[in-house]
Chains A and B, each alone.
Chain A
Amino acid sequence: MIPDLQLSTLWAASPANLVLPVVLPLLAAFLMQPLARVAVPLARLLGPLVLLLSAAITLNLWLQLGATPFSLTIGGFASPLGILFHADGVAFLFALAVPVFALLFWPGTASGGGDDRDQGARRDALTLLLVAATTGLALSGDLFNLYVFYELAAVASFGLVALSDTGRAQIATFRYLMVSAFGSVLILVGIAIVYLQTGTLSLAQIALLAPETLHNPIGLAAFALMLIGFGVKAELFPVNTWVPEVYAGAPARVAALLAGLVSKLAVLIIIRLLVLAFPQPEMAQIMLVLGLLGILTGELAAWRAKDFPRMLAFSSIGQLGLIFIAFSLGGELGLLAGLALALHHLVIKSALFGLAVRWRGSIEALAGAARSSPLAGALFVLFALSLVGIPPLPGFWAKLLVLIGLAETGGALALTVLLLILLATAVEASYLFRIAIRLYQDVPTPVAPHGRRDLGAAALLGCVLLAATLGMQPVADRLGDLAEQLNDRTRYIETVFPLHLAVKD
């Protein structure tokens, strides 16, 4: 029987609508090519429309149902047999961020021409595919489904990078593909070990069985494998060699999506695994050490970088290292610090790559750029100040939380990490301010100003940052709630298996 399909069903506060933000972009991605053959203007509109629609649906669901976490079993097969979507505050937050950021960095309209039209349709389709996959990553509550969405996101990002037709982008994509595919093998081995130990792939059931089955050296091995595997997209230390070449070779908008969104979703998977299945100090220790190596190598390489996109790429590695350090602290404080840093980085790095649309060149060549486009210069200074952590800006509070967490942990390792973070911050300040000074130099022929659309996204994100600065207390409270929810393993299990309430106690 065909259900009564009406547009109003999209707005109904029904958990079933949770699949729409994944399904709609996926559907649109595959409709894109045929549609572009028939009606180009319609195809150009399809992407933004679908993104707006899925953002609206997600927001609507969050407002109406988001008060308590809930789960949706797909096809009516109850977990653990079926596959499920799990929606809590953090999942909603990221599921909403995905279409919004994709919309902000939506590739511009290609001008006419047969080849260009195909190229544009392909790019739109791949972006929508990336959106569908990353939204799935935020919502999925099943380990293997996470793997599938992760691979889908990977393939979409390979395509987006390789679409820029230069040879160097192809080489960069190939090397990215190799690292990523080997990471997938490691994820598969990790999944195999988890399945061997627990006999299930549902995250909730894994969480339920983890204390007896995964809190041992075998579980540690599984976590390490999955950490490295998912870490490829999260720019984790040993598997981030692809980052500078890809971000330098890809269009700046694609780099903004990869550095901003995709890396955060990969981090989110790792954190879910850490909280639900592997909450032991050894696991956090691995993350702490890898995060530390990430921040040190990233910031030092960024200091040495001579061109703007690669500088952003290396600094992104450093920032993600700090995010891993924050999450490795564990507990609500660690999760709060990690979430704050992740959102902060999502906003700032995307915006900086938005500025890099025009500032592709070397740092030398940026001399006087702030004079030709004052707004871009001002935005760069704002973002730089927040990245370094100058007091009233959100970056300061996020960094402070990490430092407090490290100081509270105590011990030689934590204090060393604390000192090294301060050192890395000094390095970060040195290279960011070097650029800021160069931007305001007086030169006869500065670089061309930004287009209105390029600057629009960055300016909007700058406003978000300022708004967060003014409303620090409410933002911190909301994030605190989200961190508490993220940290609540029992609640996750009970959301998926209401019956286990009785069994457990």
Chain B
Amino acid sequence: MIGFNLESIALIGALGLIVIGALGMVATNHLMRMLLALVIAEAGGNLLIVLVGYRVGGVAPILGVGEPGAAMVDPIPQVLVLTAIVIGVGVQALAVALLLRIHRAYGTLDLRALRDRMDAEVAAAAGVAPDASQEAPLGARPLPPVPVGVTHGAGRTGPLPALERRA
């Protein structure tokens, strides 16, 4: 059969979502956007699983729905996708909690700045000279300024400081 039917459009859509999500995850330096890109990719993956069990014109796989002997959609992928969605949402919630803590500790969600800080901190905790920044083109580039009143770094034992409002 030539041309697009519902299934192939949905299939392309699902794969497209995964690709968009993957590209979004590598293309951005903002951690929140990275998380949103992941959400898109997960939606694509879940859609793909539902499509695997989809039958054109199928009815819900419940006894007494539709004509006896009518085509039914496969219930197993739907059950799986419920599990996958729940797991996905749980992981996303955990990610948001982590983002909140990162923002409290550093006042930024920019990956480049955070990576430099992290490398510097790991190096400082280990007592070695940090590697050159991956982002700095030539020579040393100063790290983004540390927000006032926020201490960060190795060896802190107390709870994280409260989230500060920034303009």
Contact = CB atoms under 8 A, between A and B. Distances in A.
B122 to A, nearest CB: 5
B25 A188 contact: no
Given A245-B122, A362-B126, A196 B52 contact: yes
A247 to B, nearest CB: 10
B130 to A, nearest CB: 9
Nearest to B34: A178
Contacts of B83: 144, 148
Contacts of B44: 185
Residues of A contacting B: mostly = helix
Interface range for A: 35 or more
Contacts of A363: 128
Interface stretch (B60-68, B137-145, B149-157): B149-157
A195 interface: yes
Contact of B114 (A171, A184, A309): A171
B122 A248 contact: yes
B22 to A, nearest CB: 7
A192 B122 CA distance: 40
A224 to B, nearest CB: 14
A438 interface: no
B118 A245 contact: yes
A348 interface: no
Contacts of B118: 167-168, 171-172, 245, 249
B90 interface: yes
A364 B127 contact: yes
Interface stretch (A158-166, A325-333, A336-344, A454-462): A158-166
A290 interface: no
Interface in A338-362: 360-362
A151 interface: yes
A174 B25 contact: no
A192 B117 contact: no
A168 B117 contact: yes
B59 interface: no
Interface string A104-135: 00000000000100000000000000000000
Contacts of B20: none
A182 B41 CA distance: 8
Interface in A132-164: 144, 147-148, 151, 154-155, 158-159, 162
A170 interface: yes
A249 B156 CA distance: 13
Given A178-B34, A188-B84, A307 B128 contact: yes
A189 B42 contact: no
A162 B153 contact: no
A177 B155 CA distance: 23
A298 to B, nearest CB: 17
A80 to B, nearest CB: 10
B71 interface: no
Interface in B89-140: 90-92, 94-95, 98-99, 101-102, 105-106, 114-115, 117-118, 121-123, 125-129
B148 to A, nearest CB: 16
Contact of A165 (B22, B115, B127, B160): B160
B95 A167 contact: no
A248 B126 contact: yes
B51 to A, nearest CB: 8
A192 B50 CA distance: 9
A306 interface: yes
Contacts of B73: none
Given A185-B18, A307-B128, A178 B154 contact: no
A306 B102 contact: no
22 contacts: A144-B83, A154-B91, A155-B90, A165-B159, A167-B117, A167-B118, A167-B121, A170-B98, A171-B117, A181-B38, A181-B42, A181-B88, A188-B84, A195-B76, A248-B122, A249-B118, A306-B129, A307-B128, A361-B127, A362-B126, A362-B128, A363-B128
Interface of A: 115, 144, 147-148, 151, 154-155, 158-159, 162, 165-168, 170-174, 177-178, 181-182, 184-185, 188-189, 191-192, 195-196, 201, 245, 248-249, 306-310, 360-365
Given A170-B102, A184-B87, A188-B45, 4 more contacts: A154-B91, A166-B121, A167-B117, A184-B42
Closest CB pairs A-B (n = 4): A307-B126, A167-B105, A306-B128, A362-B128
